[in-house]
Amino acid sequence: MKFSERTGWNTEESELARAHRERVASGAGLPGHPDLLDLTASNPTRCGFSYDEDWLGPLAGSGVGAGALEYDPQPLGLPSAREAVVRYYREHGVEGGNERGTGVAAGRVLLTTSTSEAYGYLFKLLCNAGDEVIVPQPSYPLFDFLADLEMVRIVAAPLIYDHGWQLDLEGLRQRITARTRAVVLVHPNNPTGHFTKVDEARELAALCREHGLALIVDEVFLDYGFGVGAAATDSDGMAASGLMGFGDASSFAGRGLDVLTFVVSGISKICGLPQMKVAWLVASGPGAEEAMARLEVVADTYLSMNAPMQAALPVWLPWRRGIQRQIRERTGRNLAALDGLLGRQEAERRLVSRLDVEAGWYAVLRIWAVQPDEATVRQLLEAGVWVHPGYFFGFGPAGWLVVSLLTPEEEFLRGMELVLEVLGRNQSGYCLGES
Ligand SMILES: Cc1ncc(COP(=O)(O)O)c(C=O)c1O
């Protein structure tokens, strides 16, 4: 039997995954078991947030869910659900669509079961086999797989960290080839938690225009800015660190960039409902109309959206505020606790520092690059705390850990104390070794 080359991944369990599985199987780390502290949590439904039982109401036979008994195959998704997405952007200060193709109108919204599916559709739309898409990294680790499956090649462009994260526009320009079709931004980025600033976006758009590239912008974490602020955003108030200016935390759907732009988002993060499988893409800018006509054929080929979820979306999206408030309080308190802990390190024996973060569910930790991070993560696992090595996200092999701020607060604090304890023991070992 012959299978496609692009699915010829090495699916053997990695050493690290095996170590984690065995650690969990040994009895530690079972739900509620205090032994393995999980600083990689990404599933909000397992992090102790309270979801009102009403959340399932729209799926029941009464209320809006009743509409789900009828099958109305609409490739772009049900108009009522797409209108709910338009309202979400309006609440972010984004106007309804206009004839120049800017703003968000229901005709420019396509519903998908996940952002992964949206990426699949976009790569089908924009790329022939062997074409390239540029992604500034460190970033979301799934892009390579999503691209492989569409026969597309991801080309990494550097992000620069210098008092906050920035695009290296010259570095990005150098990576453009005759095969480049698009640039993907994650805004705010995962795991670095930075927003792409208005000026950077303008320059990037000019570059895309010059080379005929589309811009794909993943905004699943848009509503999770830290601080209160300057940006035109949700009425709950969010965003803007000291480095940020007005509009930096705003959606690309409203930036009016003169380039074909696809904003990708969904309720896995916006409503903390990853299990419900509703996402979307929004097209704007020159060429959006033709793009939507082509995407409609792609979506019509799969018709993957189911009726109950679409019927529920207009109810769920307005309910996001309650769960977002809980998540923002959690991530904010964990960040403060982390800073409190790191601030207590002796200046001359500083083991860990935290990189600036403007948004999102993660913190990036800089540690001494004295051994591969894989070895450090193994040590931490043996000690009882599970964290991500930075290389998962495209950081170098040594010096970076990524921790989730979604983890329940007590577990987070104990986990971080353990991280510092283990790294402290390591450092004492190195210092003794040196003397
Ligand atoms: C940047 C980014 N985009 C998308 C997703 C997942 O979205 P979905 O559940 O809609 O596929 C994640 C999940 O962690 C993410 O980090």
300 phi, psi to nearest 5 deg = -65, -25
In testing the pocket of ligand 1, which one of 115, 122, 216 has its CB within 8 Å of the most ligand atoms? 115
DSSP string computed for 268-295: HHHSS-GGG--EEEEEESTTHHHHHHHH
Please say whether the beta carbons of 165 and 194 come within 8 A: yes
Task: With a cut of 90, say whether residue 355 has pLDDT above it.
Answer: yes
Nearest CA to ligand 1 atom 6: 115
pLDDT confidence bin for 245, thresholds 50/70/90: confident
Q: What is the pTM of this model?
A: 0.93
- pLDDT tens column, 2-17: 988 888 889 899 999 9
Atom of ligand 1 nearest to the CA of 279: 10
Chain center to CA of 203:
23
Q: What is the structure's pLDDT at 207?
A: 98
CA 146 to centroid of ligand 1, rounded, Å: 12
On average, the pLDDT of the chain sits at 90
Tell me the CA distances in angstroms from 58 to 52, 63, 87, 183, one per residue in order: 12, 6, 18, 37
- DSSP letter at 363 equals E
Q: What is the structure's pLDDT at 103?
A: 74
Task: With a cut of 90, say whether residue 334 has pLDDT above it.
Answer: yes
- pLDDT tens column, 409-427: 999 999 999 999 999 998 8
Span between the terminal Cα atoms of the chain, in Å: 60
Structure tokens at 115: 């952002």
Q: What is the structure's pLDDT at 32?
A: 57
Please say whether the beta carbons of 288 and 260 come within 8 A: yes
Please say whether the beta carbons of 246 and 230 come within 8 A: yes
The residue assigned the tokens 């893409």 is 281
Structure tokens at 203: 């320059």
- Is the C-beta atom of 137 inside 6 A of ligand 1? no
In testing the pocket of ligand 1, which one of 113, 143, 265, 268 has its CB within 8 Å of the most ligand atoms? 268
Give all domains of the chain, ordered by start, each with its CATH number. Answer: 9-50+321-434 (3.90.1150.10), 53-320 (3.40.640.10)
Q: Between the CA atoms of 76, 80, 84 and 87, what dihedral angle is there, to the nearest 10 degrees?
A: 100
The residue assigned the tokens 């530690």 is 28
The residue assigned the tokens 């529920």 is 312
pLDDT confidence bin for 228, thresholds 50/70/90: very low
Tell me the CA distances in angstroms from 121 to 22, 130, 262, one per residue in order: 38, 16, 11
- Is the C-beta atom of 220 inside 6 A of ligand 1? yes
